[in-house]
Chains A and B, each alone.
Chain A
Amino acid sequence: MDIEKSTQELADRLQYIQDIFGSRQPGDVALLAEKLAEFRAREQAEGMPQKVKLLAQIQDLFDFVEKKLDAELVPMDKVRIVRHPQRITLKDILEFVYDNYTEIGGQDEYSIDPSMVIARAYITRRIGDKVHNQPVMVIGQEKGHGQEFRNGGSVKPWGNAKALQYMKVAETENIPIHTYVFTPGAFPVEDYPGAAQQIARNLYEMAALRVPVVACFSEGGSGGAEAIALADTRLMLSHGYYSVISPEGAAAIESGIRQGQRAPVSMIEECAERLKITAADNLRMGYIDRVVHEPPLGARPHHYDFFKRLRQEMIMATDEAFLGVKGLGLIRGMALKRRKKDAVADPESMFVRWVLDEGAADRLVWKRYSKFRNMAKGAMRDKTPASRRLTDSLQQVSWSTYSYLRYEFLRTYGKKLMTLAEETRAEAGVVLEKVLRPFKSGGARKVDTQTIQKLTELSCAEEGICLTGDWDGGYVSPKAREDKAVTCPNASTHGCLDLWAPDLFGDFAGVCQYCGHHFPMEYQWFIHNVLDKDSAIEFGQDVEAGNPLDYPGFDQKIEEAKRKNKIKSSCLTYEASIDGVKIVIGVLVAPFRGGTVGAAEGEKFIRALSRARKKHYPFLAYVHGTAGIRIQEGTNGVIQMPRATMAVRRYIEAGGLYTVLYDTNSYAGPVASFLGCSPYQFSVRSANIGFAGPGVIKETTGIDIAPDYHKAYNALARGHIQGIWDRREIRNNLVQAFQTIGGRNLYYR
């Protein structure tokens, strides 16, 4: 027995405890340190049998103290656990959970992104005399045990792109995917493919992957986690965390500190508690399916029993994902029941072939959609009266029926009828022509008076091209009622003269006449001046933003936002028309808590998409502004990223035209999911689009960024958006886009 090695291991365990608890629990740490020193002093003089006995005693003591301390862990301790260099990493999992693996596209720092590790692995199951090697695609962030180049598992956009590429490979090969989430968050740079846009692309593709995905969370940091975590089964390690933002980030926002300063430690601990980030919290809220229990104070590479448990859990989750959609319903149910019963004993005792046929893959995708659709239901306040709910659902049925008749039934049979009618008419024409020819007189063709007028008179101005005195339909910004001059921010470089507020915010639609800089306007300006007059009809007003985590002090803040803005959430949904084209619109309103998205906003957006799908209307997401996911809602907010993206995917696959238009500032979660996944994203000039703001980029990456880093033109140059529009041209451009992109039927394939 290597006493020296074992002693070193004990010293490491002691150091680990000190790292996790800091200055707390000084008694226990002192006791362990004293006993370890005592053992070191005594073991020199003792013989081997006595050494082994003493070692066993002190190991027992360590086990005992660790178990005792485990009960006293607070959420912030768990954050420290997952970030500790001794924490298990993906490489350990590949080594001990799978029977064999080949790493794809990376060897330590020689990788497109060393923080994303991809491997083809297999699990061997021996059933009787037969050995089955079941292949899986393993994808996850690798933190490395203190390897600096891994970036702590903070994945760059191209790392997420690599992950997506191999998810598609797994889909082609028809093998399941196991993802392991070990990330504090994505690396927030905009270089192509762009942090936000790539996560959005990952979510969009994962929403309809035709192979089962099982995700396992250790450190689930917001958007970075979501990039690989949209899964059929989501497991979570008991000492992990899954959160919308790091506790440090939340504390920085809460305490309102400036860049470069650090939030007080007590505030960070408090935020970790308030955000409900632990496995137990997330299990209770329904965002994960099961918790994998870890040894006291979290799993480290020497906990071999833990890897065995994790292996069993992963196999069981994968089996369930397959059995849940495979074969006949009755047999499926029986097999699942048996599977669950057997699992307790040995999940590897039963063999499930990990292959899906077409029908089963369809069921899998639908099941995944339903699973996420049903999440976060209790996290918002739906005050719709029962009677309205009934009429709403009846209405929805009628829309679906109408759509079916018009777009499915009539399209198929109507076309046949039309062809028949055309042919008959042509035949009749020929016959009639022959019969009537002798009776027809010659001479000049008669020209109607309108054509004569058109050809002989001068043309006059088209109707509506000039504003007449009695124009009263538009919305006038309150800023236009102030008698003052406004200076354009580009005045020093472009020589713009001062603009008079009533001109600027009235006739000029907030656009500087000299340089074209766009000042922010209110969202009402868009509703009243871009859409057809009085055509916008709001729906879903009864869904209200709440405070699902009972975040201290947030009730007042949200009520204040509702009162000030006279709306119930930052997402407003309308049915409207634009130049006669009927559309459904989802608006994210910037003044309402920064346009942040929580459970209510996500739900409203999804309902609006569903309405557009049922009525066969195009959908426009007008992002007046959004600062990201509402952090005070914790994972209730972050789960809206996959939820809404899945709804978008469903809408687009049904043939819908999904267009996004950014105004002012749009950042973080929404851009990294349901907005960024649109193939048609346009922006108003002077808007900022990105993943993280300049302060956060500086803090997390240390990179100083140029003041115009997030400007729309740079987003266009990087390929994140598809076009930039002048605010005064939005209406024309939208109509043009619907007609050209939407095709013959305006909005539907």
Chain B
Amino acid sequence: MQDVKAILEEIKASPYEEVAILAPHAGKVQFKVAGEGTKVYAPSGTWREKPGTLLASLERERNPRPITCTRKGEVQSVNTQLDGTFVEAGTPLMVLRHFFTKEEVTQAILKKVLFLFPAPERAKYLFAPEVDKKVKVSGCQSIKVKDGMDLFIVSRMKREKPLAYNGPDGILYAVYFSYDQNVDAGQPLVSVCPENQMDMIRDVVNRVQSDWEERE
């Protein structure tokens, strides 16, 4: 198990991610952003129906295709020497800097330290009756899980069968399913945290939520 504090320090040292924009196909490129430091935005709207900032257009066979921004951030560098020239597919056009949000930092830490138990098939999932009772009364973090423990009931097309947990021992950190929603195969059902790390994870997550400064 990794050291949670070390991970956080690592993220703090470089609180952003560099996103390289590559030419998706060959064509004549024309940049549409001003240059370094320009703010760019990701797709927005309830259904993400409004496209992100227009970064460049790439024309092939008299068909100019827009290259839009997929993540919020700012422009770090633009290969301006390529403007108006023909580029091959995969040529780096520009680099964007995406600053992590609180949510992303939390997710990155949790991803590294938690064990995710995946759904074996697309179905609706429920907790086994005695676990369910406990979860309802005192929340999921009161459940200690062991390898081979009967934890779930798989409900598919009105037929139910038990499903045993299999993975490292620990405490249920979070639940990602609800009884009335189908979960696709491979999607996580629950995340499990080693018992001795529980307090530290809570502490780090709280610290991120309260102290992390999000850059606009």
Contact = CB atoms under 8 A, between A and B. Distances in A.
B47 A498 contact: no
A498 B62 CA distance: 11
B61 A500 contact: yes
B62 A484 contact: yes
B34 to A, nearest CB: 25
Contacts of B63: 484-487, 498
B14 interface: no
Nearest to B70: A492
A482 B47 CA distance: 34
B131 to A, nearest CB: 37
Interface in B22-47: 25, 46-47
Nearest to A694: B49
Interface in A478-519: 482-487, 498, 500
A341 to B, nearest CB: 65
Give the secondary structure class of A's interface.
loop
B111 interface: no
A487 B27 CA distance: 14
A427 interface: no
Interface string B8-27: 00000000000000000100
Contact of A704 (B46, B62, B65): B46
B47 to A, nearest CB: 5
Interface string A40-59: 00000000000000000000
A608 to B, nearest CB: 39
A704 B44 CA distance: 14
Given A704-B46, A706-B47, A487 B62 contact: no
Interface residues of B, number: 9
A707 interface: yes
A485 B61 contact: yes
Contact of B61 (A498, A704, A706, A707): A498
A68 B25 CA distance: 74
A483 B47 CA distance: 35
B60 interface: yes
A486 B61 CA distance: 9
Nearest to B68: A492
Contact of A487 (B46, B49, B65): B65
B60 A485 contact: yes
Contacts of B47: 706-707
A707 B47 CA distance: 8
B48 to A, nearest CB: 10
A487 to B, nearest CB: 5
Interface in A686-706: 704, 706
A665 to B, nearest CB: 17
B113 to A, nearest CB: 33
A500 B63 CA distance: 10
A706 B46 CA distance: 8
Contacts of A500: 61
B60 A707 contact: no
A485 B63 CA distance: 5
A488 to B, nearest CB: 11
B49 A707 contact: yes
Nearest to B49: A707
Contacts of A485: 60-63
Interface string B47-85: 101000000000011110100000000000000000000
B49 A483 contact: no
Contacts of A498: 25, 60-61, 63, 65
Contacts of A706: 46-47, 49
Nearest to A704: B46
Nearest to A708: B47
Interface string A71-85: 000000000000000
A485 B62 CA distance: 6
A706 B25 CA distance: 31
B46 A484 contact: no
B50 to A, nearest CB: 10
A714 to B, nearest CB: 13
A259 to B, nearest CB: 13
A486 B62 CA distance: 9
B55 to A, nearest CB: 14
A483 B62 contact: yes
Contacts of A707: 47, 49
A491 to B, nearest CB: 8
Interface string B89-131: 0000000000000000000000000000000000000000000
Contacts of B65: 487, 498
A706 B63 CA distance: 28
Among A483, A485, A498, A500, chain B packs the most CB atoms within 10 A around the CB of A485
Contacts of B46: 704, 706
Contacts of A483: 61-62
Nearest to A709: B47
Interface of A: 482-487, 498, 500, 704, 706-707
Among all A-B residue pairs, the 7 with the closest Cβ atoms: A485-B61, A484-B62, A485-B63, A707-B49, A706-B47, A484-B63, A487-B65
13 contacts: A482-B62, A484-B62, A485-B61, A485-B63, A486-B63, A487-B63, A487-B65, A498-B25, A498-B61, A704-B46, A706-B46, A706-B47, A706-B49
Given A706-B47, A707-B47, 5 more contacts: A484-B62, A485-B60, A485-B63, A706-B46, A706-B49
